[in-house]
Amino acid sequence: MSFKYDEKLDLYSWNSQTIIIEKIKPNSSVLEFGCANGRLTKHLNKEMGCKVTIVEIDEESGKEASKYATECFLGNERGNIEKYYWSEINEKFDYIVFADVLEHLYSPDKVLGKCKKILKEDGLILISIPNVANYSIINQLLKGEFNYTEVGLLDNTHLRFFTKKTFKNMIEKIGYFVESIVALQAYVKKTNDVTLIDNICKVSSESQTYQYIFSISLTNIKDSFEEVLDNRLQYSYYLSNENNKFEIAEVNIDKYKLTEHKVSLNIAGQTSSFFLRFDPIETNCIIRLGKVFIPTILGNKEIKLIGNNSDFNDNEVYFFSTEDPQFIFEVENTYDENEIIIEFELLNYDLQNYIKCLFPYLKTEIEKNLSLSYELDSRIKWYEEQIILKEKDIKSYEEDFKNKIKWYEEQIHIKDEKIKWFEKHIELKDECIENYKDEISDKIRKYEKEIELKDIEISEKNNKLEKICNNFILRLFIKDKN
């Protein structure tokens, strides 16, 4: 059977559990009342080396917590705080813890009185209680209502109700001193009863507090106790002036929960382009930024984000380790517009261990990257195998190439030798040709001379023949004449 107070320990936000853990030194002795399934017990024992004694009325849950305890008081008899079996313990503790427990008891003052004899002189009792003066209860009372719920401020098992003042008076009456008070505050939801409930919330920080964490001691450790209010849950915005320097426009003192928000920023009077700086909270945080726009009659005009001081962001989720997160927007040409709407979701804030808080996100990213890495490793292995095969192919090609080069070099050498042979024979032929040329030239000259002589001889014979012919003709003529 699941006990309704069996929850996981949230170490990543500012809550009663982490505030109590901060007060406890490692390797201390701790008496924890109402440990449920041991979410705090386990952390104190395993992570901080503390010796923890537990008292739990729900036996089933207590058995689970007992794995991390040195001594246990469990069940309806021994685990019932107001039957005081625990008060017979023969030791004194460094710390006694009542985390959301005293409001469930009939006589919390008597229980605290019994604790005095088992608390060390310099020890602390760490107590978290719900605040009955919270605005949500006041609002119910104003409507004539007082409705119990399964869990929360009006948990249906609460027997006693406290304000900061009444609880402080009670513990001082018992003889304890207040070492510190931490107030955890929540966003005051807008109601229709604006005049009354809003005015109450403005004048009283106590109405915004849903839980107090008291640290009390047997001796007056400090001259005055420390009171811490969670007043970081407020946003502010700044507008740039004509010198492009930011001037604060408004600080909104409304507190808010881990939920989605839509805030309206007044920009009336801005008639030209300017820069807007939006500070969503006054502590480290994780924020998902949504739409940022100016509503106009023609529709929403988007505003451009130009800067932020986050450590990194992914899918519009911004991780800030700084205590002063900032977004800077550039707003162009505003005339009749009066407001800018910024939608965002505060996912977590005031992270006690910023790196641990990032771990689930980083783990997911690492797993995705590991998956990608495995895929890349597989691809790389395949490529390496392909490279080895290609290298073998290359070596084979290199051998073939070398052999071919050698063959071509041999062929070239053979061709060179042939060329040399041809060149030599051409040279010989050239010599022969030159010799033939000379011989032919001599013969030509000889023949030319012979022709010349023949021409002379022919000419002489022609002359002689002509003379003979002339003589013959002359004789014939003479003969005819006679």
Instruction: Look up the CATH number of the domain holding residue 162.
Output: 3.40.50.150
Whole-number pLDDT of residue 378: 83
Q: Please provide residue 379's backbone torsions phi and psi, each rounded to the nearest 5 degrees.
A: -65, -45
Residue 321: inside a domain: yes
Average pLDDT over residues 348-373: 63
d(CA 383, CA 175): 77
One domain, residues 215 and 316: no
Residue 165: inside a domain: yes
- Specify the higher pLDDT residue, 246 or 41: 41
One domain, residues 145 and 192: yes
Could you tell me the CA-to-CA distances from 14 to 26, 84, 257, 258, 318 in Å, in that order?
20, 32, 12, 12, 19
Residue 477: other Cβ atoms inside 10 A: 10
One domain, residues 239 and 225: no
One domain, residues 193 and 259: no
Residue 338: inside a domain: yes
3-state secondary structure the chain: CCCCCCCCCCCCCCCHHHHHHHHCCCCCEEEEECCCCCHHHHHHHHHCCCEEEEEECCHHHHHHHHHHCCEEEEHHHHCCHHHCHHHHCCCCEEEEEEECCHHHCCCHHHHHHHHHHHEEEEEEEEEEEEECCCHHHHHHHHCCCCCCECCCCCECCCCCCECHHHHHHHHHHHCCEEEEEEEEECCCCCCCCHHHHHHHHHHCHHHHEEEEEEEEECCCCCCCCEEEECCCCCEEEEEECCCCCEEEEEEECCCCCCCEEEEEEECCCCCCCEEEEEECCCCCEEEEEEEEEEEECCEEEECEEEEECCCEEECCEEEECCCCCCEEEEECCCCCCCEEEEEEEEEEECCCCHHHHHHHHHHHHHHHHHHHHHHHHHHHHHHHHHHHHHHHHHHHHHHHHHHHHHHHHHHHHHHHHHHHHHHHHHHHHHHHHHHHHHHHHHHHHHHHHHHHHHHHHHHHHHHHHHHHHHHHHHHHHHHHHC
**Residue 16 in this model has a pLDDT that exceeds 80:** yes
Q: Position 195: which residue type?
A: T
d(CA 13, CA 5): 19
One domain, residues 209 and 327: no
pLDDT mean across residues, the chain: 83
One domain, residues 184 and 272: no
Max mean pLDDT among 63-67, 147-151, 336-340 falls in: 63-67
One domain, residues 162 and 295: no
Whole-number pLDDT of residue 323: 80
**Residue 261 in this model has a pLDDT that exceeds 80:** no
Whole-number pLDDT of residue 187: 47
Average pLDDT over residues 6-14: 68
Whole-number pLDDT of residue 32: 97
10 Å CB burial of residue 90 (0-12, 13-18, 19+) is exposed
Residues facing residue 307 across a β-bridge:
328
Confidence of residue 231 (pLDDT cuts 50, 70, 90): low
Lowest-confidence pick of 8-17, 50-59, 155-164, 282-291: 8-17
Residue 5: inside a domain: no
- Which residues lie below 8 Å from residue 330, measured CB to CB, with a gap of 6+? 273, 275, 276, 303, 304, 306
User: What's the CATH code of the domain at 249?
Assistant: 2.60.120
Residue 61: inside a domain: yes
What percent of the chain is predicted at pLDDT more than 90? 34
The domain of 58 spans 16-229
**Residue 188 in this model has a pLDDT that exceeds 80:** no
Whole-number pLDDT of residue 197: 53
Residue 402 in contact with residue 408, Cβ under 8 Å? Answer: no
**Residue 396 in this model has a pLDDT that exceeds 60:** yes
d(CA 256, CA 421): 104
Confidence of residue 48 (pLDDT cuts 50, 70, 90): very high
Residue 170: inside a domain: yes
Give tens-digit pLDDT for 444-478: 888 888 888 888 888 888 888 888 888 888 888 88
**Residue 7 in this model has a pLDDT that exceeds 90:** no
Whole-number pLDDT of residue 114: 96
* Of 183, 207, 229, the domain-final residue: 229
d(CA 191, CA 195): 9
Residue 211 in contact with residue 165, Cβ under 8 Å? Answer: no
Domain count, the chain: 2
- Specify the higher pLDDT residue, 315 or 355: 315
What percent of the chain is predicted at pLDDT more than 70? 83
Whole-number pLDDT of residue 194: 47
* Of 178, 212, 229, the domain-final residue: 229
Residue 278: inside a domain: yes
Whole-number pLDDT of residue 171: 94
Question: Angle, to 10 degrees, between the axis of helix 164-174 and the axis of helix 108-115?
Answer: 40
Whole-number pLDDT of residue 202: 47
- Specify the higher pLDDT residue, 471 or 364: 471
Give tens-digit pLDDT for 110-131: 999 999 999 999 999 999 999 9
**Residue 353 in this model has a pLDDT that exceeds 90:** no
Give tens-digit pLDDT for 292-344: 999 888 888 899 999 999 888 877 889 888 888 999 999 887 666 788 999 98
One domain, residues 185 and 69: yes
Average pLDDT over residues 136-160: 87
Give tens-digit pLDDT for 408-453: 889 999 998 988 888 888 888 888 888 888 888 888 888 888 888 8
Whole-number pLDDT of residue 203: 45
Confidence of residue 91 (pLDDT cuts 50, 70, 90): very high
One domain, residues 289 and 346: yes
One domain, residues 210 and 250: no
- Specify the higher pLDDT residue, 106 or 208: 106
One domain, residues 221 and 240: no
One domain, residues 239 and 196: no
Confidence of residue 213 (pLDDT cuts 50, 70, 90): very high
* Of 352, 371, 390, the domain-final residue: 352
Residue 380: inside a domain: no
Whole-number pLDDT of residue 359: 54
**Residue 255 in this model has a pLDDT that exceeds 80:** no
